[in-house]
Amino acid sequence: MKVCFIDWFAFSLFNPDSNIVFGGAQIQLYFLAKELAKNKQNLISFLTDNRHDNRLDNYGQINVYQFVRSPKTPGLYGRFLNLLYHFPILSYLHFFTRLLFQLRKINAQIYFQRAASAETGLIALIARMLNRRFIFMVAHEQDVNGDYVKKNGWRGKLFWLGLILADKIACQTKDQLRQLPKNLKMKSRVILPAYPIEPLPRRKNINKHGILWVARAETWKNPELFLDLATRFPQEKFTMICPPAEDNPNFFLQIKAMAETVPNLRFINQVPFSKIDAYFSRAKVFISTSLSEGFPNTFIQAGIGKVPIISFKVNPDKIIDRHRLGFCADGDERQMEKLLKKILKNNQLRRQLAVNSYNYVRLHHDLNITKISNALMLKSA
C-alpha cells in the first residue's frame, strides 16, 4: 500500500530538536505510520509542517514531506501573498491549490487525517479529485457532537464536507460513534487508540513518588485545577508537564507564573516524547483535569506506567469505572480532592488500581496493525 498521513503538528515526533508542540492526535498517527512502515511492501509518507521550508526527509522507512502552510515569500510575490491572506476565502483557495499539487506528488492510495479542521474538507475533496481514499480519525468530542461545525462558520462547514466525503471514519469510543448522524455511522468504525506496549521490565520495585499532570496549556484542560490540588496536599510532590498551546501562548505564561508560586510543584515546559514514559512510570497517581477529550493518550501512558487515574470529568465509555483504573470526579473539584486523598492513604488500593490500569491497556490498546487494517479495510484499497 501507498499511505500518506497528514498532520501539521507532528514534526517534533520525527525530529526531537523541533519545538513544535504535539498531542495525542499526532502520537496516534505517528505510531500507525511506524507500524505500517515495518512492512517493506508498504510505502509510507507523512505530510507535516516544520515551520521553515519545504523539503523531503527520510526517517527510517517513512518519507516525511515538510509543507509550510504559510510560507514567508520575499519580494513582490510575497507582498501579494500577504495581501491575499487578509481574505480567508482567497487564502484557502491558494492553500488548496498548493496542497493539491503536493498530494498529487505524494501519490498515495490512502490519505489519513485526524482531528477536526477546515483542512479535513480540503484533503477529502482532493482525495476525491485524485480518485484516492480518505480516512478521517476522530480526535475529540467536538469532531462528532457538532460543536466544531457550529462554532467555526465556513471552516466548520468545510470540515463537515470532509466527513461526508470520507471513505471511512474511525471513532475512538462507542459514544463518539453514537453521536454521528445515521448516514455517517454506516461508514464508521470504533478503533481504540493504540500504543506499542513493551513487556514490563524485570525490575519489580520502581520508586513511585509524586502526582503527575501532562497536557498542553489549553483553557479547556483546566491546568489551574491541578495547581489548586497541589496547594491542598503540601506534603506531596506534584509534577506538571505543560507545553504551550500554539494558539494561546498567553495562557501558558499565566499558568507558569501561577505554578511558580506553589512550592511543592515542579513545572516543566516540555519533555521529548522519547522521555515522557519515564515520568509516568515514577508517578503514584496521574491527574486529568480536562472538561472534554476524545480518548486521552495519557490514559494509555498511565496504564503502561502502572499509574492509577483520577479524572476531573473525562471518562470515555466509562472505562475508568468499568475496568477500575482509578476514579472519575464527574466534574466536582472537592470530590477530586477526596479521591486523591483516598488513593494516597490506601497503598493496597493504589497498587490494585495500578495493576488494573496496566492489564487494561495491554488487553485493549496494544498496537495491532492487523486489527486496524481489517477494521478500516485497508487491504482492499
> Is the per-residue pLDDT at 376 higher than 80?
no
Helix (H), strand (E) at residue 176: helix 174-179
239 and 186 within one domain: no
Residues 173 and 230 in one domain: no
Percentage of the residues of the chain whose pLDDT score is greater than 90: 77
Q: What pLDDT does residue 131 have?
A: 97
pLDDT digits 0-9 by tens, 63-117: 999 998 876 655 665 666 666 666 667 777 888 999 999 999 999 999 999 999 9
Model confidence band, residue 207 (pLDDT cutoffs 50, 70, 90)? confident
* 287 and 374 fall within a common domain: no
Which pairing describes strands 62-66 and 55-59: parallel, antiparallel, or unpaired?
A: antiparallel
Instruction: Note whether residue 352 is domain-resident.
Output: yes
User: Is pLDDT at 203 greater than 70 in this prediction?
Assistant: no
Q: Which residue matches cell numbers 507532528?
A: 10
pLDDT tens-digit series, residues 139-164: 999 999 999 999 999 999 999 999 99
Confirm whether 360 is domain-assigned: yes
Residues 187 and 312 both lie in one domain: no
Annotate 42-108 with three-state secondary structure. CEEEEEECCCCCCEEEEECCEEEEECCCCCCCCHHHHHHHHHHCCCHHHHHHHHHHHHHHHHHHHCC
Per-residue pLDDT at 64? 97
In a shared domain, residues 180 and 80? yes
State yes or no: pLDDT of 280 exceeds 90: yes
Claim to verify: residue 16 and residue 35 sit in the same structural domain: yes
Q: Dihedral of CA 13/19/20/21: which sign? A: positive
Same domain, 237 and 282: yes
For the CA atoms of 371, 372, 374, 380, what is the dihedral angle to 10 degrees?
-150
Residue 314 lies in a domain: yes
Q: Would you say residue 141 lies in a domain?
A: yes
Domain count, the chain: 2
pLDDT at 378: 73
Domain, as residue range, for 309 = 211-364
Residues 341, 372, single domain; the answer is no
pLDDT at 84: 64
Residue 266 placed within a domain: yes
Q: Are residues 190 and 216 in the same domain?
A: no
- Residue 199 pLDDT greater than 80, yes or no: no
Report yes or no: 229 and 221 within 8 Å, Cβ to Cβ.
Answer: no
User: In terms of residues, how long is the chain?
Assistant: 381
Whole-number pLDDT of residue 19 = 86
Residue 203: inside a domain, yes or no?
A: no
Is residue 164 included in any domain, yes or no?
yes
User: Same domain, yes or no, for 138 and 226?
Assistant: no
CATH of the domain at 168: 3.40.50.2000
Least confident range from 193-202, 306-315, 355-364: namely 193-202
CA 280 to centroid of chain Cα atoms: 17
Query: How confident is the model over 243-277, as pLDDT tens digits?
Result: 998 888 999 999 999 999 999 999 999 898 989 99
Is there a single domain that holds both residue 135 and residue 52? yes
126 near 99, Cβ under 8 Å? Answer: yes
What's the confidence (pLDDT) of residue 107? 96
- Cα(314)–Cα(293) distance, rounded to whole angstroms? 7
For 298-333, the pLDDT digits (tens) are 999 999 999 999 999 999 999 999 999 999 999 999
* Same-domain pairing of 190 and 135: yes
Residues 108-138: tens digit of each pLDDT? 999 999 999 999 999 999 999 999 999 999 9
- Apex CA 165: angle with CA 160 and CA 167, to 5°? 125
